[in-house]
Structure 1
Amino acid sequence: MSEASDIIKAHYAASDRGDLDGMVEAFADDVAWTEMAGFPYAGTYVGVDAIKAGVFGRLGKEWEGFSADPDEIVDGEDGTVVGIGHYSGTYRATGRSMRVRFVHVWRVKNGKVTGFEQFCDTHLVRAAMD
């Protein structure tokens, strides 16, 4: 596995611990984070502060026990790393739970995460919210 793969594994491990600072430790200042169309927080967030506020902060406030658990990490060895796994959690406002498969495409350059793109079944996420 490459350094890029190790960085992404460390991100998921920090997420599992609830360590927000650890999650963003290797993020470039201008990292671009894209949540797919149809996802509740859809859009591209640029920079750590925007990602914390627009994605991680909202997930923490709106979901009980939200987690992104990778089942597999695929190392593209060119700075591209793919995480394949499941989201799970309970939406606080409805009390409904979900478990949704995801694919995350990560871009790492010079030891820093420069990009992230999410793919998942947004319908199943929204069904827990309705």
Structure 2
Amino acid sequence: MSDSANIAVVRRLYESKGDPAVAEEIMAPDIVWDITPGFPGGGVYHGFDSVVNDFFGPLFGRFDAFFPVGEEFYADGDHVTALGHYEGATKTGTNVQVRFIHLWTVHDGKLARLRQAADSLVVDRALGG
């Protein structure tokens, strides 16, 4: 796959604003989802079902809205770096914007791995931590 095709797959996830049908279509069933310690649900998740149920389930229980906005994308072979921010609104009505960097691995047109780094302190404060 070309660098631009890999970027297109990553962009599609962000442009969907968390649409579960899009996520299921473009994420590999055995995706590895590595979230920064200290971020809500921080840890490593293995497989699409674990990402949906064990990471996003609890996260969406704390937010009315939470989605990534990709701003810059860079590719090198199977790896895509995305810089951007999360937009969110907590269940208590606090709005939050949090910068992130996502390092993606793309295999055969599917998202195979995410390594995330984000400003956990901003999220913690928005959630009343």
Q: Which residue of 2 aligns with 1:119?
A: 117
Tell me the equivalent position of 1:81: 80
2: CA distance, partners of 1:103 / 1:24: 22
* Cα displacement (A) at 1:4: 1.2
Distance 2:55 2:108 in 1: 25
- Partners of 2:54 and 2:81 in 1: CA distance: 22
Q: Deviations over 1:90-115 (max 9, x none)?
A: 211x3322111110000011222110
* 1:87-98 → structure 2 map (5 Å cutoff): 87-92=86-91, 94-98=92-96
In the other structure, the counterpart of 2:53 is 53
Q: 1-side partners of 2:84 and 2:120: how far apart? A: 14
Deviations 1:11-46 (A, max 9, x none): 1122x2x42120231222211001101101111111
The alignment partner of 2:61 has SS state of helix
Letter in 2 for 1:65: A
The answer to whether 1:5 aligns with 2:3 is no
Query: Gapped runs of 5+ residues in structure 2?
Result: none
Report the RMSD for the aligned CA atoms in angstroms.
1.4
Tell whether the 8 Å contact from 1:12 to 1:23 is kept in structure 2 after alignment.
no
Q: Secondary structure at the match of 2:54?
A: helix
Distance in 1 (CA, whole Å) between partners of 2:58 and 2:67 is 13
Cα distance in 2, alignment partners of residues 35 and 19 from structure 1? 20
Q: Structure 1 length as normaliser, TM-score?
A: 0.89
Number of residue pairs matched by the alignment: 126
- Kindly, what percent of the aligned residue pairs are identical? 31
Q: 2-side partners of 1:26 and 1:90: how far apart?
A: 26
Q: Is the 8 A contact 2:104 2:111 kept in 1?
A: yes
